[in-house]
Each structure stands twice: as structure tokens, then as C-alpha cells.
Amino acid sequence: MSLLDANAIHPTTLPDGRVYTDTVYMKNVIDHPRIEIGDFSYFTHSGTPEETAQILAPYLGHGCRERLVIGKFVQIARGSYFITSSANHPMTGFTTYPFRIFKPETFGYKDLPVRDTIVGHDVWIGHDAAIMPGVRIGAGAIVAAASVVVRDVQPYAVVGGNPAAVIRMRYPTEVINDLLDIAWWDWSIEKIEANLTALSNGDLAALKIA
């Protein structure tokens, strides 16, 4: 029997048999035209499933131009959130006050640039992290708890702090390149679970022949 159910809303069952309702598979609870979520990516929060999009990206209204794209197998801890481009205030004049957001006929600043926020596959975002507008986070990266990510993050980098900076790379460059080529997150769930030992133990040779 598979460990994971791609169609679940709450993927975690506790040892006593109860379903842990604070963790949700985002793809199965978010219905938003500007948010794209990959399979098996989860977010832990204290709201209802219907509130997930608002908690995750509180400024990404349905009329916004930017997108939030989150890959497969992403793990987002409680308290983390994305500040997307439409949250920005105008900064080219003498005031940052957002006069035009208060009436529907003038809502938004169409002249302000927007940039999609992209999270790669198998990214771990720790407790209370804030991801700022337009950031790209590469596959396999780790964002430390309480970090404020203001710039792009390389694949398999560990970043932390405010503003977040690289603490270390998880693996040497050649290993990172191999992992990106293998792209295990695109395998079938059956193949992934058949190779869990190699994935968990860091057996790159086994993954290459899987």
C-alpha cells in the first residue's frame, strides 16, 4: 500500500488513528486562478482548508497579475507565508500611500512591475518564514525558520536569516547537477516509494540506475 495518497486533503494519520487536520495537501484545497501547486506539497496551519490560500498568500487577490507557483513535494511549516508582488506600494513618487487600491475602478497599479514567485520541487520552508515578491527558490533548497527571503535561492542551498543568506550548500555542485537531472519528483509514486531507501540514505548511485 502506498504511503501517500495524492487525493487526500489531510495526508497525515497519527499513531492513534486520528487524522491530523492542521496539515493539508495544498493542491486539493486551493482553488485560485493565480496559484499553481504540485502534487504532495503540504502546508501546516491552524485555519480551515478553505482558508489555506488566504493564509499562504494573503495579498494575492483574484485580480492580481502575478502568480504563485509551488512545485511537487514542497513542505511549508506553520506560520510561513508569501508576500506577492501586488502587495508592493508605489515607490517612484513622493508618497508610498496606495491611493488607487480603494476603488474598484482604480484598483491596482498596472504600471508597477510584477514578477511571479516560484518554488521548486522538494523545498522545505521552515516555521514563520516570509517569502518576498518575485523570489525563485530552487529545487531541494531549505529555508530556515523565521527567515525573510528577499532574493533567489539556488537549488539545494540552505538559507537563513533576515535577509536570508546562504548558510551552506547541501551537496557539491556535481551531486546537485546529478539530482536535478534525475528529477525524482517526476517519477511515479510507485517508483519513488520503491526507491525510498536510496532517497533517504543519499545513495546517488542507486538513484542513477533506478
Give the number of C-alpha atoms closer than 13 A to the C-alpha of residue 125, restricted to the C-beta side: 32
Asked if residues 75 and 124 have their Cβ atoms less than 8 Å apart, the reply is: yes
Give the number of C-alpha atoms closer than 13 A to the C-alpha of residue 51, restricted to the C-beta side: 9
- Determine the residue type at 25: Y
178-206 residues labelled b (16+ CB within 10 A) or e (exposed): ebeebebbebeeeebeebeebbeeeeeee
- Determine the residue type at 82: F
Q: How many angstroms from the chain centroid is the CA of residue 143?
A: 10
SS3 label, residue 16:
coil
Catalytic residues: 89
